[in-house]
Amino acid sequence: MLKQNIYILGIESSCDDTAASIIQNGKILSNIVASQKIHEAYGGVVPELASRAHQQNIVPVVYQALEKAKITKDQLHAIAFTRGPGLMGSLLVGASFAKSFAYGLGIPLIDVNHMQAHILAHFIDEEGFNKPPFPFLAMTISGGHTQIVKVNNYFDMEVIGETIDDAVGEAFDKSGKILGLGYPAGPIIDKFAKLGNSKAFQFTKPKVAGLNFSFSGLKTAILYFVQNETKKNPDFIQENLNDICASIQYTIIGILIDKLKLATKQTGIKHIAIGGGVSANSGIRQALKDGEQKFGWTTYVPKFEFTTDNAAMIAIVGYLKYLEGDFAKKDVMASARLKI
């Protein structure tokens, strides 16, 4: 029997990237992201500027996605969009566009939870990447999120741990700001850390019960440490940058791995899937590999373009929901604090 080709357009606009992607069944045909450079000058995302840039980018990005996929809008079966969580002004741009486009084309609209999408990105058909078996643990680590989720099935997920303050990417970015590095600082710290001694300086890990995380205390500890040392030696940062970065990265990775160890112990699940921009970190990747050897874990890291904020992950959720006939109501609203 010939399998019908289902084409879904995914739209993501929850933070500072305007993204559109076309999926054909489980396979991505195009994955376009317009990153907003404007925020670099501010050292963080400015919500008002983000919504304006989404407004400007959304139509060209969707057209590029269709063009790259070599399909026309009339071939689409449904439109999936990020309903939340995220910045309200940014979400509204994607939601309004998706509603109008779906209504105009007379096809179903599918609302997607951004945090579920980070996890379900593992189910995109991609050569060389295995899909985790249910149940598995998912750890989403990015500039906006830090969560450990027990994934029983595609849409049966339980958050078992999350940050009570900063996200892990923020911990990298804020540490970088203290050190006078650019934004986002995560990749820069990663680069210097490779050249440094991770045991050169010790930072205490926060004591947070259970599987929750906290990173704001670490940021303050780093700030006081740097202020103290530069008082004694104004060139302290320049002279020790590699070692400082290596020590910060080592501490952050230690916090993540400790929680993963506890999560595997509590749940008995040893399949661990990682997502979010921080999963690009070379130290995390190494620590996960070590975990396979030391603790018998099986770890899954998606292709890089599906880990940072992207619309391919929205499109795969759209496809999975389309198969179940799970469509959005006509009056669906964006939701800044949408939970898993």
186-193 and 282-295 helices cross at what angle (nearest 10)?
Answer: 70
Among 10, 94, 276, 302, binds ligand KG4 (CB under 6 A): 276
Part in contact with Zn ion (CB under 5 A); list of ranges 94-102, 141-149, 153-161, 169-177: 141-149
Is residue 123 near ligand KG4 by the rule CB under 6 A?
A: no
Is 89 one of the binding residues for ligand KG4 (CB under 6 A)?
no
292-331 mask for Zn ion (x: CB under 5 A)?
A: -----------------x----------------------
Which one among 12, 111, 166, 190 touches ligand KG4, defined by CB under 6 A? 190
* Distance of alpha carbon 247 from the chain centroid: 24
Binding at 143: pick from Zn ion, ligand KG4, none (beta carbon under 5-8 Å per type): ligand KG4
Closest to 108 (Cα-Cα) out of 330, 317, 335: 330
Residue 219 in contact with residue 189, Cβ under 8 Å? no
Min separation Cβ 170 and Zn ion, Å: 13
- Taking the complex as a whole, the smallest distance from the CB of residue 277 to ligand KG4 amounts, in Å, to 2
Interacting stretch for ligand KG4, rule CB under 6 A, among 91-99, 199-207, 277-285, 298-306?
277-285
CB 197 within 8 A of CB 304: no
Cβ closest to ligand KG4, residue 165 vs residue 326: 165
Q: Which of residues 130-169 bind ligand KG4 (CB under 6 A)?
A: 142-144, 169
Question: Does residue 186 belong to the site contacting ligand KG4 (CB under 6 A)?
Answer: yes
Reduce the DSSP state of residue 12 to 3 states and report it. strand
| SS3 assignment, position 149 | strand
What helix, strand, coil percent values describe the chain, rounded to 5? 50, 20, 35
Sheet holding 27-35, edge to edge: 27-35, 17-24, 7-12, 78-84, 109-113
How many angstroms separate the CA atoms of 72 and 82, rounded? Answer: 22
- State yes or no: residue 192 binds ligand KG4 (CB under 6 A): no
Phi, psi at 142, each rounded to 5°: -150, -170
What does the binding site for ligand KG4 look like in residue numbers (CB under 6 A)?
15, 142-144, 169, 172-173, 184-187, 190, 276-278, 280-281, 308-309
What does the binding site for Zn ion look like in residue numbers (CB under 5 A)?
142, 309
